[in-house]
Amino acid sequence: TLLQKPDSAIDFIIPYPEKPEKPAKAQKPSPEEALQWRDSLEKLLQNPYGLASFRSFLRSEFSEENAEFWVACEDYKRTKSPVKMAEKAKRIYEEFIQTEAPKEVNIDHFTKAMTMKNLVEPSPSSFDMAQKRIFALMEKDSLPRFVRS
Which residues contact residue 74 at a Cβ distance below 8 angstroms, ignoring those fewer than 6 apart?
A: none
The rounded Cα 89 to chain-centroid distance in angstroms is 16
pLDDT tens for residues 128-143? 999 999 999 999 999 9
SS3 for 77-99, per residue? HCCCCHHHHHHHHHHHHHHHHCC
Model confidence, pTM: 0.78
Which residues contact residue 20 at a Cβ distance below 8 angstroms, ignoring those fewer than 6 apart?
A: none
Give burial (CB, 10 Å; 0-12/13-18/19+) of 54: buried
d(CA 66, CA 43): 16
All domains of the chain in start order, with CATH: 32-147 (1.10.167.10)
pLDDT tens for residues 5-56? 555 444 444 444 444 444 445 578 888 888 888 889 999 999 999 999 999 9
Which residues contact residue 134 at a Cβ distance below 8 angstroms, ignoring those fewer than 6 apart?
A: 66, 69, 70, 105, 106, 107
Which percentage of the chain shows pLDDT scores above 90? 72
Q: Which of 58, 56, 65 is nearest to 101 (CA)?
A: 65
Which percentage of the chain shows pLDDT scores above 70? 83
More confident residue, 27 or 149: 149
